[in-house]
C-alpha cells in the first residue's frame, strides 16, 4: 500500500463495524460494534487507551502520571496510536489484555503495573505506524515541540523536548520513550523514519463540544515486522528510568504476563449464580474495571521516614477524572466492599476519615480542590457502616475493626456532626451552597437550578450520620450519647418529613423546590426510615412517571421542566443535570425499587439492569461502565470509564441475584 493510500485509509477506517468478544474461561459473548475502544491501566495513574481503528478522543493514547509532591501530579501523554495498515475484524477482551485480530494476524496489548506495556504481534509481515502526541495532558501549545529518534544498543529511543517557544532556548519538560525487543532470538528492531506531522480530528471530542478537537500529531516511524515479534514500550520523564523499566519488563515479560493473567482470573471469580451470561460478564468486567481504577500514587516522602502517606484511592474515572474525588470514591467503594476487598476499602475510608476538614466536611477532591462538597461526608460514614456490616456477615469484624478503630470513627463522626451543625445549618436543616451537591455544574449565573439551599439527599445523609452515631454509641456502651442522639434522630426525622413530604406523593428536591429529580432515590438509599414503605411507593410512582425513559433509565430532572434537555450537550453542561441519565444513579434507583417492592417494580428494575449491562459490554470503553447517557436514547457518553457506575453495578447485581 502506498503512503498516500495508507494515510487516507488510516483516517476512514473507523467507519467499520468490528466484532467485539468478551471472553474469560468458559464464558463468552460477541457482538458487532462500531470502532470499539479499550482502556487498560497500570494502577499507578497511567493508562493505555486505543480505538480499534482511529482514536475518537485526544484523551486516548498512552499516558503516565508523574507525582511531583503530595499535592500535585502531572499526567503526560506519550503515544497517540499503534496501527497496522489494515482493519481489525475482531477485538477480544481477555480481561487481563486486549487482542486485535486481522484475519490470521493479531496484536496483543498487556499493560503492566509500571510505565510500560507489552505489544505482541503474530502472523504479520509489514509495517506498523507509530504515531506520537507527546505532551502534558492539557498542553496544547504547538510551539517548541521537538522529537529525536535514535537506535542505541538495539533499542529505539525517542526523546521529546517541549520548549517554551520555537527559539528552542528554554526547556519546559522532557519525556522519553524506549522501544525494546524481547523476542527469544533478540533480533534488532527495524524501522523506517516517517517524520510527518498531520492534523487529527477527534469525533467524540467534537461531539462533546470539547476544545481542542483537532490537533497536529506526529507520525514518527514505521516498525518493520517480520511474522512474529514482542516489543516493550517504556516511557518516563527520566531517560534512564525508561531504559531500566524496558530492560526489566523484557527480562521478565513471560512471568509478568502470567501473573497478570492469574491475578485477573482470581479477581473476577465470584459465587453468585448468574444465569444471564451478559450480566455475568458485565459483572466481572465491573470488578476488573474498579480494580483498574483503584490506584496507589507514588509517594515522594522518602526523605521523611517518620511520615507515612496513604496514597491509595479510586480514580473517579478515565480518561480525564484522574484524581480522588471523595464523593465518587465513597459511592464506588461499595464495589470493593461487596467483593470483600475489605483491607483496601478500609485504607481508603480511613484516609478520608483522617482528612475531615475543620468545618466537619470532606474536601471535594484529594488532594483538596476549592469547590465545596456537601454530600461526601455522609457518604463516608455510610460506607464505613457498610464495611462494618459486611465484615460482620463474613465473621471478620474483629479482624478489621479494633476497639481503637471504633472509637476513632465515633469521635470523628461526633466532631463532624457538631461542626456541620455549627457551619452548615440554617433553620434546623443542613444547608449547602450552589454546586456543592453531586449536581455540581451549572450553565451561567442567571440559572436558578444550582441547588443552593436545603436538599433532600443532604438531609438524608445527616439523618444517617445521626443513626450511625447511635449505633456506635451502643457499641461503645455510651448510653448517654445513644439516648441523646436517639432524641435528635426522632426530632430531625419529623422536621425533614414535615417539610419535604408536605404534599402527598411528592418528596421535594429542596425545602423550597418541588422539582422532581432522582435525588429522592439517594435519600432512600441513605435513610429509608424517613418514610413508610407505602409512602415510598407513592413517591417512587410519581417520580417514575416524570423521570422514566423507555430504554431503562431516569432523567435528572422532570421531563416537563423548562430546563429539560433530551440530548447530551457535553462540556457546556446544559444537559448534565437537566436531562442526562446517570448510570450510577440508575443502579441505585433499581436497588431502592427492589428493596421497597421488587414485584411491583420488576419491569423498571430489569430495564435498568439491562441498560447498564449493555453499556458495560457494548457501548463505551470495552468492559467499563460509562458516566451517563442522553435521555433520548441509550448511548455511552461523558467519561467512558466511571468508577461509581461500576461500583453501583456490582452492588445492584448482588442485590438482585446474590440472595
**pLDDT tens for each residue of 282-323:** 999 999 999 999 999 876 544 444 455 678 999 999 999 999
pLDDT tens for each residue of 375-425: 999 999 999 999 999 999 999 999 999 999 999 999 999 999 999 999 999
The pLDDT value recorded for residue 271 is 82
The pLDDT value recorded for residue 603 is 98
The pLDDT value recorded for residue 434 is 92
- pLDDT-based confidence at residue 442 (cuts at 50, 70, 90): confident
Q: By mean pLDDT, which of 141-145, 296-300, 638-642 is the weakest?
A: 296-300
Mean pLDDT of 482-496: 98
The pLDDT value recorded for residue 366 is 82
> Cβ(163)–Cβ(170) under 8 Å?
yes
Q: By mean pLDDT, which of 235-249, 295-309, 583-597, 610-624 is the weakest?
A: 295-309
- pLDDT-based confidence at residue 115 (cuts at 50, 70, 90): very high
The pLDDT value recorded for residue 47 is 98
Does residue 549 carry a pLDDT above 80?
Answer: yes
The span from the CA of 93 to the CA of 289, in Å, is 12
Q: By mean pLDDT, which of 93-107, 179-193, 578-592 is the weakest?
A: 179-193
Does residue 327 carry a pLDDT above 60?
Answer: yes
For strands 214-236 and 171-181, give the pairing.
antiparallel
The pLDDT value recorded for residue 296 is 92
What is the overall mean pLDDT for the chain? 94
Exposed/middle/buried for residue 210 (C-beta within 10 Å: 0-12, 13-18, 19+): middle
pLDDT tens for each residue of 336-346: 999 999 999 99
- Smallest Cα–Cα separation from 231: which of 223, 240, 221, 239? 223
Does residue 308 or residue 578 have the better pLDDT? 578
For strands 17-24 and 72-84, give the pairing.
unpaired
- pLDDT-based confidence at residue 48 (cuts at 50, 70, 90): very high
Whether the model clears a pTM of 0.85, i.e. scores above it, the answer is yes
Give me the phi and psi of 136, to 5 degrees please. -65, 145
The pLDDT value recorded for residue 449 is 81
> Cβ(75)–Cβ(322) under 8 Å?
yes
Mean pLDDT of 599-624: 98
| Contacting residues for 104 by C-beta, under 8 A, at least 6 apart | 123
The pLDDT value recorded for residue 339 is 97
The span from the CA of 491 to the CA of 325, in Å, is 33
The pLDDT value recorded for residue 300 is 55
Question: Domain residue spans in the chain?
Answer: 3-267, 340-438+454-500
The span from the CA of 91 to the CA of 93, in Å, is 7
- Smallest Cα–Cα separation from 94: which of 257, 296, 253, 230? 257
The pLDDT value recorded for residue 369 is 74
Mean pLDDT of 511-538: 97
The pLDDT value recorded for residue 303 is 43
> Cβ(439)–Cβ(375) under 8 Å?
no
- pLDDT-based confidence at residue 186 (cuts at 50, 70, 90): low
Give me the phi and psi of 124, to 5 degrees please. -140, 130
Amino acid at each position: 500500500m502506498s503512503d498516500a493510500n495508507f494515510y487516507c485509509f488510516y483516517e476512514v477506517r473507523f467507519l467499520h463495524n468490528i466484532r467485539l468478544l468478551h471472553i474469560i474461561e468458559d464464558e463468552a459473548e460477541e457482538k458487532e460494534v462500531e470502532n470499539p475502544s479499550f482502556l487498560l491501566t497500570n494502577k499507578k495513574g497511567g493508562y493505555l487507551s486505543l480505538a480499534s481503528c482511529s482514536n475518537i478522543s485526544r484523551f486516548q493514547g498512552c499516558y503516565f502520571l508523574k507525582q511531583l509532591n503530595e499535592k500535585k501530579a502531572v499526567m503526560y501523554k506519550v503515544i497517540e496510536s499503534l496501527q497496522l495498515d489494515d482493519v481489525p475484524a475482531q477485538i477480544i477482551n481477555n480481561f487481563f489484555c486486549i487482542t486485535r485480530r486481522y484475519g490470521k494476524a493479531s496484536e496483543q496489548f498487556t499493560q503492566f503495573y509500571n510505565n510500560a506495556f507489552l505489544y505482541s504481534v503474530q502472523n504479520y509481515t509489514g509495517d506498523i505506524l507509530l504515531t506520537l502526541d507527546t505532551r502534558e495532558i492539557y498542553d496544547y501549545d504547538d510551539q517548541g515541540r521537538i522529537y529525536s529518534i535514535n537506535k542505541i544498543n538495539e533499542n529505539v529511543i525517542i526523546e521529546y523536548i517541549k520548549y517554551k517557544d520555537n527559539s528552542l532556548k528554554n526547556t519546559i519538560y522532557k519525556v522519553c520513550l524506549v522501544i525494546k525487543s524481547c523476542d527469544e532470538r533478540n533480533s534488532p528492531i527495524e524501522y523506517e523514519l516517517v517524520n510527518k506531522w498531520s492534523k487529527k480530528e477527534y469525533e467524540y471530542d467534537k461531539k462533546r463540544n470539547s476544545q481542542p478537537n483537532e490537533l497536529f500529531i506526529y507520525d514518527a516511524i514505521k516498525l518493520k515486522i517480520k511474522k512474529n515479534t514482542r516489543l516493550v514500550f517504556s516511557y518516563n520523564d527520566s531517560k534512564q528510568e525508561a531504559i531500566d523499566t524496558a530492560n526489566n519488563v523484557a527480562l521478565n515479560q513471560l512471568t509478568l504476563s502470567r501473573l497478570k493473567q492469574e491475578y485477573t482470573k482470581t479477581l473476577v471469580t465470584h459465587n453468585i449464580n448468574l444465569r444471564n451470561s451478559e450480566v455475568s460478564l458485565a459483572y466481572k468486567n465491573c470488578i476488573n474495571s474498579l480494580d483498574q481504577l483503584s490506584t496507589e500514587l507514588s509517594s515522594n516522602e522518602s526523605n521523611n521516614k517518620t511520615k507515612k502517606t496513604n496514597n491509595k484511592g479510586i480514580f473517579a474515572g478515565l480518561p480525564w477524572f484522574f484524581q480522588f474525588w471523595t464523593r465518587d470514591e465513597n459511592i464506588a467503594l461499595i464495589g470493593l466492599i461487596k467483593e470483600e476487598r475489605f483491607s483496601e476499602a478500609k485504607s481508603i475510608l480511613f484516609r478520608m476519615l483522617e482528612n475531615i476538614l475543620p468545618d466537619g466536611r470532606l474536601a471535594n477532591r484529594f488532594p483538596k480542590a476549592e469547590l465545596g462538597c456537601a454530600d461526601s461526608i455522609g457518604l463516608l460514614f455510610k460506607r464505613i457502616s457498610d464495611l462494618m456490616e459486611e465484615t460482620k456477615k463474613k465473621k471478620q469484624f474483629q479482624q478489621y475493626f479494633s476497639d481503637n478503630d471504633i472509637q476513632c470513627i465515633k469521635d470523628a463522626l461526633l466532631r463532624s456532626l457538631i461542626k456541620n451543625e455549627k457551619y452548615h445549618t440554617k433553620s434546623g436543616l443542613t444547608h449547602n451552597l450552589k454546586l456543592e451537591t453531586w449536581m455540581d455544574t451549572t450553565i451561567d449565573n442567571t440559572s436558578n437550578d444550582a441547588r443552593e439551599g436545603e436538599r433532600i439527599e443532604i438531609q438524608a445523609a445527616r439523618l444517617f450520620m445521626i443513626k450511625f452515631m447511635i449505633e456506635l454509641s451502643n457499641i461503645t456502651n455510651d448510653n448517654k450519647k445513644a439516648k441523646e442522639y436517639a432524641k435528635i434522630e426522632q426530632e430531625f426525622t419529623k422536621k425533614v418529613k414535615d417539610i419535604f413530604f408536605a404534599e402527598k406523593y411528592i418528596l421535594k428536591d429542596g425545602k423550597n423546590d418541588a422539582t422532581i429529580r432522582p435525588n429522592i432515590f439517594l435519600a432512600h438509599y441513605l435513610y429509608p426510615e424517613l418514610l413508610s414503605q407505602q409512602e415510598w411507593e407513592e413517591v417512587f410512582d410519581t417520580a417514575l412517571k416524570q423521570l422514566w425513559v423507555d430504554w431503562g433509565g431516569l432523567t435528572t430532572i422532570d421531563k416537563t421542566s423548562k430546563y429539560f434537555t433530551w440530548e447530551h450537550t457535553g462540556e457546556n453542561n446544559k444537559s448534565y443535570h437537566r436531562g442526562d441519565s446517570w448510570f450510577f444513579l440508575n443502579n441505585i434507583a433499581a436497588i431502592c425499587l427492589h428493596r421497597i417492592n421488587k414485584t411491583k417494580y420488576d419491569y423498571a428494575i430489569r430495564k435498568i439492569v439491562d441498560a447498564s449491562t449493555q453499556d458495560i459490554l457494548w457501548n463505551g470503553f470495552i468492559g467499563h461502565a460509562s458516566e451517563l447517557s442522553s435521555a433520548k436514547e441509550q448511548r455511552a457518553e461523558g467519561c467512558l470509564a466511571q468508577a461509581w457506575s461500576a461500583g453501583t453495578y456490582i452492588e445492584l447485581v448482588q442485590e438482585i441475584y446474590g440472595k
